[in-house]
């Protein structure tokens, strides 16, 4: 790709300034606004900024595209920009690298922005689980399906074995795709999304045993594996796990007529009590489409809930968090205005910092698994 950065660099008054991260971290949030806007303007069409809905306001306001994991992966696949700055977490930036054009470079402003759920499934553990399925004689009829919130190595594992990736917005479709091709699904790494999706398709809870990677043979017998329809990986999101059925009861008591809408990473008992489930994009759409005067309790990350509360208050829609104490995704929060300014101003100077690059040997099959996801929509 032909980079326009030389021209950008020539116009930069920051050329002489130091671009080390420590210099940025010592400065207050608000002092970054102008610098981000200026660097962004200088980079122009060479750079696209993608922002997940859980990002804080001071960061997401600069995003060219915002969305849930699915929408952002579509945006990453479609952009022809030289640089993709991903304001999200590591697995999202990896997916953007997998889906991007040759020569495109993906930047994650803080490399510590990981996802604790994605870390709950390591490739060696997943391989051990597959070997157990082989020993039970059922691997050939099992389709591995991974949530987007997983490493590229696990996506590649699924792609190579005839499986695919899904997000919370297309998990149902991915389940149907998998059951057209096999008898059983190995679902990684979020047990809650897997259980909620399987249950919505009429699969019994007793047909969805949980594989615990820290137990011998996952804590399951061969018979249990053979009798299962979905083998759920023992992973979860710490943010969504905090929501409890008692929170639903409480908000219903506090606000008669309230609608409870939650992310499907919430536990089964919470989802059963909710009025609707949805990806972050879907939750936003439900609120957008609701009539004036509607009241919602939302079970998802706090930055998104607070932003929606502020945005829809003038339209007479009241929004509260499902758990009064609220919970933020601390790793998403790591993408600060300082990190964003640092990444952008370095780019203005012609330096790519914090590039996320999936290894070539992992790329091929991970891309296959992601392409299958984009094909099912
Ligand atoms: P969405 O795809 O719904 O935005 O979810 C991503 C995520 O990490 C939720 O915890
Ligand atoms: Fe991961 Fe949960 Fe944060 Fe989503 S909210 S990125 S699943 S830790």
Whole-number Å distance, alpha carbon 355 to ligand 2 midpoint, is 21
Whole-number Å distance, alpha carbon 107 to ligand 2 midpoint, is 19
Whole-number Å distance, alpha carbon 13 to ligand 2 midpoint, is 38
Q: What is the Cα–Cα distance from 235 to 251, expressed in whole angstroms?
A: 27
Q: How many residues does the chain have?
A: 377
Q: Is residue 105 a contact partner of residue 84, using CB atoms and an 8 Å limit?
A: yes
Q: What angle do CA 63, 64, 66 make, to 5 degrees?
A: 65
CA-closest candidate to residue 184, choices 144, 148, 213: 144
| Residue-by-residue DSSP string for 136-176 | TT-GGGEEEEEESSS-HHHHHHHHHTT-EEE-TTTHHHHHH
pLDDT value for 5: 42
Task: Indicate the SS3 state at residue 211.
Answer: strand
pLDDT value for 18: 61
Q: Which residues line ligand 1 (CB under 6 A)?
A: 53, 68-69, 149, 167-168, 237, 263, 265, 279-280
Whole-number Å distance, alpha carbon 329 to ligand 2 midpoint, is 6
Whole-number Å distance, alpha carbon 131 to ligand 2 midpoint, is 28
Q: Does the pTM exceed 0.95? A: no
Give burial (CB, 10 Å; 0-12/13-18/19+) of 49. buried
Q: What is the Cα–Cα distance from 64 to 185, expressed in whole angstroms?
A: 36
Quick one: which H or E segment has residue 66?
Answer: strand 65-67
User: pLDDT of the chain along its 377 residues, tens only?
Assistant: 333 444 344 444 444 456 899 999 999 999 999 999 999 999 999 999 999 999 999 999 999 999 998 899 889 889 999 999 999 999 999 999 999 998 999 999 999 999 999 999 999 999 999 999 999 999 999 999 999 999 999 999 999 999 999 999 999 999 999 999 999 999 999 999 999 999 999 999 999 999 999 999 999 999 999 999 999 999 999 999 999 999 999 999 999 999 999 999 999 999 999 999 999 999 999 999 999 999 999 999 999 999 999 999 999 999 999 998 878 999 999 999 999 999 999 999 999 999 999 999 999 999 999 999 999 98
Nearest residue (by CA) to ligand 1, atom 3, is 279
Whole-number Å distance, alpha carbon 169 to ligand 2 midpoint, is 15
Q: Is residue 166 a contact partner of residue 373, using CB atoms and an 8 Å limit?
A: yes
Q: Is residue 136 a contact partner of residue 222, using CB atoms and an 8 Å limit?
A: yes
Q: Which ligand is nearest to the CA of 238?
A: 2
* DSSP symbol at 214: T
* Lookup: tokens for 365: 């099959």
Whole-number Å distance, alpha carbon 213 to ligand 2 midpoint, is 20
Q: Which ligand is nearest to the CA of 115?
A: 2
Q: Is residue 337 a contact partner of residue 29, using CB atoms and an 8 Å limit?
A: yes
pLDDT value for 35: 97
Q: Which residues line ligand 2 (CB under 6 A)?
A: 89, 115-117, 149, 237-239, 265, 301, 329, 331-332
Q: What is the Cα–Cα distance from 347 to 9, expressed in whole angstroms?
A: 9
Quick one: which H or E segment has residue 295?
Answer: strand 295-299
Residue to probe by mutation, ligand 1, list 75, 240, 279, 283, most atoms within 8 Å of CB: 279
Residue to probe by mutation, ligand 1, list 167, 298, 301, most atoms within 8 Å of CB: 167
């Amino acid at each position: 790709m032909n980079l326009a950065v030389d021209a950008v660099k020539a116009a930069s008054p920051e050329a002489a300034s130091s671009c080390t991260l420590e210099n940025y971290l010592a400065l207050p949030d608000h002092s970054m606004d102008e610098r981000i806007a200026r660097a962004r303007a200088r980079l122009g069409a060479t750079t696209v900024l993608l922002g997940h809905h859980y990002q804080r306001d001071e960061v997401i306001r600069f995003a060219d595209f915002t969305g849930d994991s699915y929408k952002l992966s579509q945006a990453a696949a479609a952009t022809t920009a030289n640089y993709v700055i991903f304001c999200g977490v590591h697995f999202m930036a990896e997916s953007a690298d997998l889906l991007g054009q040759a020569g495109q470079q993906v930047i994650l402003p803080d490399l510590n922005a990981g996802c604790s759920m994605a870390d709950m499934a390591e490739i060696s553990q997943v391989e051990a689980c597959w070997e157990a399925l082989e020993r039970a004689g059922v691997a050939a009829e099992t389709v591995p399906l991974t949530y987007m919130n997983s490493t590229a190595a696990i996506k590649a594992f699924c792609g190579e074995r005839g499986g695919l990736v899904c997000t919370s917005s297309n998990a149902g479709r991915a389940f149907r795709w998998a059951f057209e091709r096999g008898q059983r699904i190995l679902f990684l790494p979020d047990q809650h999304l897997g259980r909620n999706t399987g249950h919505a398709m009429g699969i019994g809870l007793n047909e969805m045993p949980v594989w615990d990677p820290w137990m011998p043979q996952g804590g399951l017998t061969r018979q249990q594996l053979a009798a299962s329809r979905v083998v759920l990986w023992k992973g979860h999101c710490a943010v969504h796990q905090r929501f409890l059925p008692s929170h639903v009861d409480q908000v219903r008591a506090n606000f008669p007529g309230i609608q409870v809408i939650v992310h499907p990473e919430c536990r089964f008992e919470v989802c059963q009590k909710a009025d609707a489930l949805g990806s972050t994009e879907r939750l936003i759409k439900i609120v957008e489409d609701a009539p004036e005067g509607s009241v919602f309790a939302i079970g998802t990350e706090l930055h998104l809930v607070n932003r929606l509360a502020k945005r829809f208050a003038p339209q007479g829609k009241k929004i509260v968090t499902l758990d009064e104490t609220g919970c933020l995704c601390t790793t998403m929060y790591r993408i600060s205005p300082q990190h964003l300014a640092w990444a952008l101003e370095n780019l203005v100077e012609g330096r790519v910092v914090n590039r996320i690059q999936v290894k070539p040997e992992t790329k091929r099959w991970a891309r296959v698994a992601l392409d299958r996801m984009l094909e099912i929509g």
